[in-house]
Amino acid sequence: MRVISSAELRNNMKKYLDLAGKEQIIIQRGRKETFVLKKREYLEPDEDFNRAISLEQFREGAKEHIKTLFSEK
């Protein structure tokens, strides 16, 4: 485990992301905030993931919305 400042993380992001694969990194921001940086092997799908739509669904929805906006004028 290493403890670093937020400025150190900002200045050496790649270094600490690589290290986080092997050990936990504690980031101290000011005197009152502390964060933990560590690698996760798998990210569980959450509510946002389950509500996701495909690019094609997004395009169709956007087209319909634009048509609606122009037909109202």
- Please give the biggest Cα pair distance in the chain: 61
Task: Find the CATH number of the domain harbouring 33.
Answer: 3.40.1620.10
Q: How far is CA 38 from CA 1, 27, 33, 70, 71, in A?
A: 10, 11, 17, 49, 51
Rg from Cα positions in the chain: 21
Q: Give the tens place of pLDDT for each residue, 36-58.
A: 999 988 778 888 888 889 999 99
Print the domain residue range for 67: 2-71
Query: How many domains is the chain built from?
Result: 1
Determine the Cα–Cα distance for residues 59 and 62; give it in Å rounded to an integer: 5
Q: Structure pTM?
A: 0.55
Amino acid 73: pLDDT? 60
Look-up of token digits 């101290």: 28
Which band of pLDDT confidence, cut at 50, 70 and 90, is reported for residue 7? Answer: very high
Tokens of 2: 């290493």
